[in-house]
Amino acid sequence: MTQPGTFHGVGLGPGDPDLLTVQAVKLVESAGLLTYFAKAGRRGNARAIVDKWVPKGKPELPLWYPMTTESHFGSDVYVDTLREFYERSVGAIADVLDMGKDVVLVCEGDPMFYGSFMHLHARLKDRYPTKITPGVTGMAGCWAAAGLAMTWGDDQLSVLPGTLDEDDLVERLKATDAAVIMKLGSNFPKVRKAIERAGLTARATYVERGTMAGEIVLPLAERAEDSAPYFSLILIPGEGRRP
Amino acid sequence: MTQPGTFHGVGLGPGDPDLLTVQAVKLVESAGLLTYFAKAGRRGNARAIVDKWVPKGKPELPLWYPMTTESHFGSDVYVDTLREFYERSVGAIADVLDMGKDVVLVCEGDPMFYGSFMHLHARLKDRYPTKITPGVTGMAGCWAAAGLAMTWGDDQLSVLPGTLDEDDLVERLKATDAAVIMKLGSNFPKVRKAIERAGLTARATYVERGTMAGEIVLPLAERAEDSAPYFSLILIPGEGRRP
């Protein structure tokens, strides 16, 4: 029987192709199959980041998210549709692993930090050898781009989704030393208000497309728009011990 | 007048030399001066990580931490000694920048996430061009090594120092979805007790030297010793939405 291949989750970092790790580049080069998530019919951002490192003729498989715009996030239809999509993706990947080939799934940022990869990893890790190559997170790319020193001495850092309700956000912002607020989108006005109520607007920086083309770094107070794209977040650095 | 050089803070990642980014490798190769923090008289861990990427004959300057074992952490003597050390380091680096050479300070993990680099960056950023190259954090190296998917869906993540008092730790652990507890050392028994009180021991994993030689990954409950070395942390993954 053929020895099964290894399933790799490989972080690509925040967007600049030179922020791939050396190990990520090696795995992209040696992959039996290169795979990645993308919107249906698109090449997607992960594939764009990795482009300059993909050898000509490398077998590839895009994993196209199902269209779910019509169904609400937490709804049964949404959950079922996604579940079927993940199961189907797992099937396709398992077929290649069974042929003894390594499958490399490349992901924006770090694969184990809010990564869709995790849904496939959870289904495959007990059936096949799996290996994780960590990546530079999107938030680290953003604080580097902004030149912000995030955590000092014994600072605590809270990573908060903008989906939390306003009062909850205010309370958590008041209780932490440093914060990263992700998943802004249409939550942006609410998040902005929560930061204002916590008295932190003067310390907050808005970053869009950190390390990528079209990068924007602004004091939060100077950001006029009332929504924010997918690749954006707000950074509030800590103020801990600094001799 | 000579154009001043650029001061670079470059993250080296969690320990495996192949977890440097491509950009970090390029900067180490092109640096006018390579510099790094280390214990007095030692080569130190950052220099060890980067070793295979340093060209022969590259000018180097170790920045040796002053001996502070005798003085307590928060004491005036400690703070003054460190401040003098940072000022002295800044002076040496500025001299080289003034000669028009780029200075590359390499740091374990990410330079803006609990990095000593930040103390020099704060002093130099308004005087010289500075650039940050983000790195894979130590915690991402550890959760990759442990194969732990940390944050799902709308999970919040709290990064907590083990220096917090026990009641505070318990409260914060109860209020978050996912947690990383760093700075264990002699705080380890207290941290263990706080996790127990928060009812999270079964979900907690202890990781020592993640991605490095001598790596240890253990369920927290199976870790017998009552202290933990510098390169160790505890991971409690979130349990958020997973179709």
The CB-side HSE value for B4 (13 A sphere, CA atoms) comes to 16
DSSP string spanning chain A? -PPPPPEEEEE-BSS-GGGSBHHHHHHHHH-SEEEEEEETTS--HHHHHHGGGPPTT--EEEEEEPP-TTS-TTSHHHHHHHHHHHHHHHHHHHHHHHTT--EEEEESB-TTBS-THHHHHHHHTTTS-EEEE----HHHHHHHHHT---B-TT--EEEEETTS-HHHHHHHHHH-SEEEEE--GGGHHHHHHHHHHTT-GGG-EEEESTTSTT-EEEEGGG---S---SSEEEEE-------
- Fold classified for A139-236: 3.30.950
pLDDT of residue A243: 77
Instruction: Give which of B202, B173, B190, B197 is closest to B226, Cα–Cα.
Output: B190
Of all residues in chain B, the percent with pLDDT exceeding 70 is 97
Average pLDDT, chain A: 94
| Rounded distance between C-alpha atoms, residue B22 and residue A29, angstroms | 14
pLDDT of residue B230: 77
Q: How is residue A78 written in tokens?
A: 């949404």
Inter-chain residue contact B158 with A161, CB threshold 8 Å: no
Q: Quick check: B140 pLDDT over 90? A: yes
Q: Quick check: B227 pLDDT over 90? A: no
Nearest CB partner across the interface for A113, out of B22, B150, B164: B150
Order the strands of the A60-65 sheet from edge to edge.
Answer: A60-65, A33-39, A103-107, A7-11, A130-133
Q: Quick check: A241 pLDDT over 80? A: no
Spans of all domains in chain A: 7-136, 139-236
DSSP string spanning B82-147? HHHHHHHHHHHHHHHHHTT--EEEEESB-TTBS-THHHHHHHHTTTS-EEEE----HHHHHHHHHT
Nearest CB partner across the interface for B132, out of A114, A144, A152: A144
Q: Is B50 on the interface with A (CB under 8 A)?
A: no
Residue-wise pLDDT for A159-198, tens only, equals 999 999 999 999 999 999 999 999 999 999 999 999 999 9
Residue-wise pLDDT for A52-71, tens only, equals 999 999 999 999 998 765 55
pLDDT of residue B141: 97
Q: Is B82 on the interface with A (CB under 8 A)?
A: yes
Count Cβ atoms below 10 Å from residue A119 Cβ, excluding itself: 22
Q: Quick check: A73 pLDDT over 90? A: no
Pairing state between β B7-11 and B103-107: parallel
Q: Quick check: A2 pLDDT over 60? A: yes
* ipTM, interface predicted TM-score of the complex: 0.95
Q: Are B240 and B153 in contact (CB under 8 A)?
A: yes
Nearest residue in A to B149, CA atom: A112
pLDDT of residue B67: 75
Q: Quick check: B96 pLDDT over 80? A: yes
Q: Quick check: A146 pLDDT over 90? A: yes
Inter-chain residue contact A23 with B14, CB threshold 8 Å: no
pLDDT of residue A71: 55
Q: Quick check: B229 pLDDT over 90? A: no
pLDDT of residue A230: 77
Looking at domain A7-136, which CATH architecture does it have? 3-Layer(aba) Sandwich (3.40)
Residue-wise pLDDT for B14-26, tens only, equals 999 999 999 999 9
pLDDT of residue B70: 54
Q: How is residue A236 written in tokens?
A: 């509030």
Residue-wise pLDDT for B208-225, tens only, equals 998 888 999 999 999 988
Q: Which residue did the predictor score with more confidence, A84 or A2? A: A84
Residue-wise pLDDT for A210-234, tens only, equals 888 899 999 999 998 888 887 899 9
Q: Is B19 on the interface with A (CB under 8 A)?
A: yes
Burial readout A137-151 (b: 16 or more C-beta within 10 A, e: otherwise):
bbbbbbbbbbebbbb
Nearest CB partner across the interface for B130, out of A22, A111, A147: A147
Inter-chain residue contact B21 with A22, CB threshold 8 Å: yes
pLDDT of residue B73: 60
pLDDT of residue A56: 97
Of all residues in chain A, the percent with pLDDT exceeding 90 is 84
